[in-house]
A and B are shown apart, each in its own frame.
Chain A
Amino acid sequence: MSEQLQAEFQAAFQAEVDADGRIEPRDWMPDGYRRTLVRQIAQHAHSEIIGMQPEGNWITRAPSLRRKCILVAKVQDEAGHGLYLYSAAETLGADRDELLDLLHTGRQKYSTIFNYPTTSWADVAAIGWLVDGAAIMNQVPLTRCSYGPYARAMTRVCKEESFHQRQGFEAMTVLANGTPAQRQMAQDALDRWWWPSLMMFGPSDGDSPNSAQSMAWGIKRFSNDELRQRFVDATVPQAEHLGLTVPDPELRLDPETGSYAFGEIDWTEFYAVMKGDGPCNRDRVRNRVAAHEDGAWVREAAAAYADKQARRAAA
């Protein structure tokens, strides 16, 4: 492609993005844009399917049939979200097997939040309420992302995610209004999940060159800190409604702005968990690899059956 043509395509691409238009799979796009999206969508997909594990851990021990049905539906949704996202990554030319391989070998990451253990039933409630609540804060702006297939996948995901958050809050409400022991379980879960949930938004990105580029490309709409602040402002009143205490002595409402000021986040923990030293990193990846390898014969059998049927049809 001539340099002049390249410049024309680049200008047309940026004009579409600046006009809040959408880029579609077969459009010309800068290679950096494509790579940024593949990286982001793939790691988002990885987070969804790894995210099935902490809650899947409680399916057999859900406290009632109602809770079990809800939890099964939620975990199935996470698998579905992963599928929407891997499909979106494929529209950019990514290879699904390769993306899984990058996850299985630890070269691509997933959200640090899923490296924490679910040690009690209240953790399942806290994940729905806090983790999915934080996910919604991130994902709603993505429904307006400049890349069409990603934005459309996010629209579907957000509809389903709001069920996840509400069922979590409801389960939390039941515990918070239950016996003293149940109440203590709820408070303990909030104590353990609050800070990791705030870390989900990532370190401040004020001076990150990648964030500025993502914003110029219409992929990212709000800074990590902005989204985190929205989450805190939305969630603290919910905790108060539950009669639970947010584990942050520095938390206070600024009456002028209506926003909550909150304490320092321990980013050394975040980096350690991202690097692989969280409580469950090794388990999560080992289980994922085992599920993939144990399922290989199913994929092979299905392919062999399809081949046989095709041969018979041709004969």
Chain B
Amino acid sequence: MTSFTSADGHGAVPTSGVPVDEGSVPHRSQAPLWEVFVRSKRGLSHTHVGSLRAPDAVMALRNARDVYTRRQEGVSLWVVPSTEIVASSPDEKDAFFDPAGDKPYRHPTFYDVPEGLTHL
């Protein structure tokens, strides 16, 4: 009996008997992947919104405009080749971020403020 899920968004699709990652297609040369960052309005930082494939930077920018800013979501766009992003490793995240873990004195809430005093 085939299982179906409605939780696929646009209508139920089978959750069994459907192949995934067969490696059946010889890896064709796909356009490179770009990460897209949008500044939603002046005064705010660019924020990562997703990624897309495009053969070069100019097309990546144009595609990013069409895919991610069809409703005036941005006033500025960055596209960055995904391969150029250097990331911390999730496996080492505890050790990597540990040094900040035992330094609560870096937060203002660490300190007692005498009752009734303001501007502290």
Chain A interface (Cβ < 8 Å from any Cβ of B): 24, 26-28, 35-36, 38-40, 42-44, 47-48, 51, 73, 76-77, 80, 83-84, 87, 90-91, 93-98, 101-102, 107-114, 131, 134-135, 138-139, 141-142, 149, 152-154, 156-157, 160, 199-203, 205, 208-211, 214, 219-222, 224, 227-228, 274, 299, 302-303, 305-306, 309-310
Contact = CB atoms under 8 A, between A and B. Distances in A.
A214 B13 CA distance: 14
A156 B29 CA distance: 29
B5 A40 contact: yes
B70 A202 contact: no
Given A24-B90, A51-B10, 19 more contacts: A27-B90, A28-B90, A42-B20, A84-B67, A95-B21, A95-B27, A102-B19, A108-B19, A109-B13, A110-B10, A114-B11, A142-B7, A152-B50, A202-B4, A205-B4, A209-B3, A228-B6, A274-B14, A305-B56
B23 interface: yes
Contact of A202 (B12, B23, B59, B87): B12
Contacts, number: 187
A135 B25 contact: no
A98 B25 contact: yes
B109 interface: no
B115 interface: no
A77 B87 CA distance: 31
A108 B28 CA distance: 19
A141 B31 CA distance: 33
A73 B66 CA distance: 11
Given A90-B33, A110-B13, A152-B50, A202 B25 contact: no
Interface residues of B, number: 45
Contacts of A39: 15, 18, 20
B56 A306 contact: yes
Contacts of B12: 111-112, 199-203, 224
17 contacts: A26-B87, A40-B7, A47-B11, A51-B10, A76-B66, A84-B67, A91-B51, A96-B30, A98-B21, A111-B8, A111-B10, A152-B50, A202-B4, A220-B5, A303-B31, A306-B56, A306-B59
Contact of B3 (A38, A43, A199, A211): A211
A33 to B, nearest CB: 12
A38 B20 contact: yes
B15 A200 contact: no
A113 B59 contact: no
B9 interface: yes
B18 A109 contact: yes
Contacts of A93: 21
B1 to A, nearest CB: 8
A76 B11 contact: no
Interface class of chain B by DSSP = loop
A3 B102 CA distance: 31
Nearest to A310: B56
A241 to B, nearest CB: 25
B24 interface: yes
A219 B8 CA distance: 10
Given A111-B13, A138-B8, A201-B6, A96 B18 contact: no
Interface in B52-74: 52-56, 59, 66-67, 70-71
Interface string B68-103: 001100000000000000010111000000000000
B31 to A, nearest CB: 7
Given A24-B90, A135-B11, A208 B30 contact: no
B5 A205 contact: yes
A295 to B, nearest CB: 13
Given A39-B18, A76-B70, A90-B33, A26 B90 contact: yes
B112 interface: no
A306 B7 contact: no
